[in-house]
Structure 1
C-alpha cells in the first residue's frame, strides 16, 4: 500500500505544483489540494520511512548525500505545503512567501528529476522505473 500511495502522491504533488504556480499561489482550491497532498506525502514518509535508496551502483559522495537530499526534499515539501495552507486559514508563516517557496520547490524538483534521469541512463539502476506507476516504462 505504501508504494502506490507514495507514487500517486509524488505525481499528484508535481502536477498540483505546476498548476498552482500557473494559477497563482492564492488559488484556494489548488492551495488546499497541494497543501494536503504534500502533507500526506510527508506524513506517509514519517510514518513508514522513505521508500527510496541510493541503489547499489551509486557510490562515493553521492551515495552519502542521497538520504540527506531526500530528507531535504521532504522538508521543503512540508514547508511549502504549510506555507500554501496557512493563508487559507487566515495567517502566514514567517520568512519567504508561498510563491517563492513553490518556485524553490520546483527548482529542487527539477534537480531531483535530472538526477534520477542520470541514475537511470548512466548508472542503469532503475531509479525512474521504481517511481513511475507500473506500466509507464
Structure 2
C-alpha cells in the first residue's frame, strides 16, 4: 500500500509539473528552450517511463462513466501518454539539433496542449456533473477539502 501511495504522489506531482511546464513552453518564443524545455522533457519522460513500466494508475474509470466513455477512457489515457512521449522526444531531438521527421516540436506541443485542455475539461465535467471524484485521483489529498 505504501508503494502505491508513493507512486500516486509521484504521478500527481509529475502530472501537474508537466502540465504547467507545457503551458509555459507554449507561452514563450519557440526559440527559447533552456531549462524550461529540459525540465518538461525530464518530467514528461519520467511520467511516460512510469506508465510503460507500471501501467495506468487509473485502471478503472469508475461506475459513473457508462457506455462509450467507459470503454474508451483507458485508451484515451494511453493516447495522452503516447502524445506526451512524442512531444518529449520531439522537443529533446530538436534541442539537440536532430529534429524528428514530420511536424516540428512546437506543432507537437500545440497538439499536446489542445489534447490536455480537452483532458482537463473532461475530468472537470466528470467531477462536477457525474460527481465521481475524478479530480480527487490526481489532486494530492491535502487539497481535497477545496473540491
Q: Please classify the TM superposition score into its range, dividing by the shorter chain length.
A: over 0.9
Aligned length: 137
SS of the equivalent of 1:37 reads helix
Matching residue within 93, 116, 121 for 1:114: 121
Q: CA deviation at 1:87?
A: 1.8
Q: Measure how far apart 1:28 and its partner are.
A: 1.9
TM-score (normalizing by structure 1): 0.95
64-73 or 45-54: bigger deviation: 45-54
Q: Which of 72, 75, 81 in structure 2 is aligned with 1:68?
A: 75
Distance 1:51 1:2, change over 3 A: same
Instruction: Work out whether residues 35 and 85 of structure 1, in 8 Å CA contact, stay in contact via their aligned partners in 2.
Output: yes
Aligned to 1:45, which of 29, 51, 61?
51
Within a 5 Å distance, the mapping from 1:1-137 to structure 2 comes to 1-26=6-31, 27-52=33-58, 53-137=60-144
Alignment correspondent of 2:3: none
Runs of 4+ in structure 1 off by over 3 angstroms are none
Q: CA deviation at 1:129?
A: 1.1
**Cα deviation, residue 2, structure 1:** 0.7
Deviation for aligned residue 1:126: 0.6
Separation in structure 1 between the aligned mates of residue 28 and residue 143 of structure 2, nearest angstrom: 28
SS at match of 1:125: coil
Secondary structure in structure 2 of the residue aligned to 1:69: helix
